[in-house]
Amino acid sequence: MDITESLHQMIKKADKAGAYDLLEQWAAEHGYDRLICEVLEPVFEEVGRAWQEEGLSLAQGYIAAKIGEDFLKKYAAEQASSHSHIELKGPVIMGNIEDDVHALGRRMVVTFLEANGWKVYDLGNDVLAETFVDKAVEVGAKVVGVSAMMYTTAKNIKSLRAEIDHRDLTGKLQLAVGGAVFVLRPELVEEVGGDGTARNALEAPALFTRLWEEACLQESSS
């Protein structure tokens, strides 16, 4: 049984102590960054689907959320101690699109962005298109990152694309999209009007750097 299956079984049993021991041992050998991307991310995508389909109890959901939160904090602390000199970048905006409440994937991306020096305004779950753009304009962001786990909520990103275009911010405010559904259906990026995506949280900083640079080029040419 591989580690993702072992962790999934421990969550089903609400075995918090066993899960922590398993993950700490794996992280000691492979690192917290790989733990988050290769273990926690795929497991919690499955947990999110189970929760939506009512195949997960409150106790199991709590254990899963607590594990994710605690190991994200461990990774963030490790990065802060080793990259205290890093140059600040941004600001950028993050949030889950309207009707989407699967927070863990977004939190992973926020953690990786902040560890790489980005100033991130995290708007949380179930965010309206207007709210994303209002905040971006307020703080001078050039990239908005929006997360959705399921196809039903990912379609709501179209309203954010429309809001950006309506305010004549096309190209000047880049739209990064992500979540489990975009890994399964890469063509969805274009369908909802995204300017780019990353397969996982580890790749998110490079994506935001590219989109930020594209926004700057668009501004300079207009």
d(CA 202, CA 199): 8
Higher pLDDT, 85 or 62: 62
What average pLDDT does this structure show over 117-144?
97
Contact between 178 and 112 (Cβ < 8 Å): no
For 155-201, the pLDDT digits (tens) are 999 999 999 999 999 999 999 999 989 988 999 999 999 999 998 88
Which pair of structure tokens corresponds to residue 179? 């979540």
Model confidence at 86, pLDDT cuts 50, 70, 90, reads low
Q: What is the mean pLDDT of residues 127-148?
A: 98
Q: What is the mean pLDDT of residues 71-95?
A: 80
Higher pLDDT, 131 or 75: 131
List, in sequence order, every beta strand (DSSP E) within 16-142: 89-96, 118-122
Phi and psi of 118, rounded to 5°?
A: -80, 140
1 vs 61, higher pLDDT: 61
Q: What is the pLDDT of residue 87?
A: 73
How much is the pLDDT for 24?
94
Record the tokens describing residue 35, joined without a space. Answer: 């733990």
Q: How far is CA 119 from CA 57, 113, 204, in A?
A: 35, 8, 14
pLDDT at 149: 86
pLDDT digits (tens, 9 = 90+) for 105-120: 898 899 889 888 899 9
Averaged pLDDT, 122-133: 98
Superfamily of domain 3-82: Methionine synthase domain (1.10.1240.10)
Is the entire prediction scored with pTM above 0.95?
no
In angstroms, rounded to a whole number, what is the distance separating the alpha carbons of residues 141 and 120? 9
Q: If you average pLDDT over every residue of the chain, what do you get? A: 89
Please give the pLDDT value at position 168.
96
CATH 3.40.50.280 in the chain is located at 89-221
pLDDT digits (tens, 9 = 90+) for 7-28: 988 988 888 899 999 999 999 9
For residues 110 and 87, the model is more confident at 110
SS3 189: helix
pLDDT band with cut points at 50, 70 and 90 for residue 55 = low
With beta carbons less than 8 A apart as the criterion, state whether 119 and 92 touch: yes
- CATH 1.10.1240.10 residue ranges of the chain are 3-82
CATH classification (class only), 89-221: alpha beta
Report the alpha-carbon angle 7-27-95, nearest 5: 75
Reply yes or no on whether the pLDDT at 80 is more than 80.
Answer: no
Query: Residue 146: is its pLDDT beyond 90?
Result: yes
Peptide bond before residue 91 is cis, with ω within 30 degrees of 0: yes
Interatomic CA distance for residues 163 and 142, integer angstroms = 15
